[in-house]
């Protein structure tokens, strides 16, 4: 999971549990998402990269470069 890219479908930010869609196992699945920088806000449709994965459905993400 670490290193995979996804798209934000539920705003990520302080005090919020966001959502990202990530391609896995031949499909796309939803994961609960938190920012790697505690006070960062990541808006809808932003492309992010998974920095940490906590099974079964939680990821910590950062904005993808580029």
Q: Omega of the bond prior to 56 within 30 degrees of 0, cis? A: yes
Q: If you search the block for the tokens 């998974």, which residue do you land on?
A: 50
- What is the per-residue pLDDT for 33? 98
Dihedral sign for Cα 27, 60, 10, 48, please.
negative
Q: What is the pLDDT of residues 13-36, one digit of tens each?
A: 998 999 999 999 999 999 999 999
Mean pLDDT, residues 32-43: 96
pLDDT greater than 90 at residue 66: no
Strand partners, 18: 33
CATH code, residues 5-63 = 2.40.50.140
């Amino acid at each position: 999971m670490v290193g995979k890219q996804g798209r934000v479908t539920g705003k990520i930010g302080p005090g919020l549990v966001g959502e990202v869609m990530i391609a896995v196992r031949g499909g796309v699945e939803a994961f609960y998402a938190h920012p790697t920088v505690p006070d960062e806000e990541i808006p809808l449709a932003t492309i992010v990269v998974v920095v940490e994965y906590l099974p079964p459905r939680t990821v910590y993400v950062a904005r993808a470069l580029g």
